[in-house]
Amino acid sequence: MKFIYAVLAMAALNGSVYAAELHIGYVNIDYLLRDSAIAQKAGKKLEKEFTVREQELNKKIKHARDLQSALEKDSLTLSETERAKRQRELAAQGRELENDKRAFREDLGQRRNEELGAFQERARKAILEIAEREKFDIIFENAVYASPKVDITPRVIKALDR
């Protein structure tokens, strides 16, 4: 790491000599994730895959709320045994609902990570192809600032969308 800082410091001190020799690029990964067709397609795929399940989960949540409201409304007129029975049913349904929510979040997270991993792999390949074809010395993914003249993100998006 110190070596990189030393090279960059020398380049700053002798800017014209080293800048002409280094071919530097920058890729904004957030921009790739937001604006590339392949990333948008993956997002729509996940949405389609999990919409039905999310709707079912929302129905269960509404049903549990309705049961809770009915129990609160009827609690004065119910016998002690009937009230206790409904409370147990409601508690069991609440536990089942929490398990379903957790499973949904875990499955969605896992699928999102799978899609993200596949996207990152394709993006890396596209970046490497551009780097080799255009003879870049280094391409950064994270930077505090990058001049538009070194930003190759639009070229990477075009390569991904082909």
Question: Residue 30 maps to which CATH number?
Answer: 3.30.910.20
Domain that holds residue 41: 23-161
The answer to whether position 4 is within a domain reads: no
Residue 55: what residue type?
Q
Element (H, E) at 91: helix 80-133
| Average pLDDT over all residues of the chain | 87
Cβ–Cβ < 8 Å for 149, 22: no
Question: In this structure, what are the phi and psi dihedrals at residue 34, rounded to the nearest 5 degrees?
Answer: -85, -40
Domain tally, the chain: 1
The pTM assigned to this predicted structure is: 0.71
The answer to whether position 9 is within a domain reads: no
| Measured distance CA(43)–CA(36) in Å, rounded | 11
Closest to 154 (Cα-Cα) out of 146, 19, 45:
146
The answer to whether position 52 is within a domain reads: yes
Long-range contacts of 91-95 (CB under 8 A, 24+ apart): 93/60, 93/63, 93/64, 93/67, 94/64
Cβ burial of 32 (10 Å; 0-12, 13-18, 19+) is buried
Confidence class of residue 1 from pLDDT cuts 50, 70 and 90?
low
What average pLDDT does the segment 131-160 reach?
93
The answer to whether position 5 is within a domain reads: no
The answer to whether position 153 is within a domain reads: yes
What average pLDDT does the segment 142-159 reach?
92
Confidence class of residue 6 from pLDDT cuts 50, 70 and 90?
very low
Question: In this structure, what are the phi and psi dihedrals at residue 151, rounded to the nearest 5 degrees?
Answer: -80, 115
Cβ–Cβ < 8 Å for 133, 21: no
Please give the share of the chain, as a percent, with pLDDT higher than 70. 88
pLDDT at 108: 96
The answer to whether position 3 is within a domain reads: no
Question: In this structure, what are the phi and psi dihedrals at residue 33, rounded to the nearest 5 degrees?
Answer: -65, -35
pLDDT at 14: 54
pLDDT at 73: 87
Confidence class of residue 11 from pLDDT cuts 50, 70 and 90?
low
pLDDT, tens digit (0-9, with 9 covering 90-100), for 36-87: 999 999 999 999 999 999 999 999 999 989 988 888 888 888 888 988 888 8
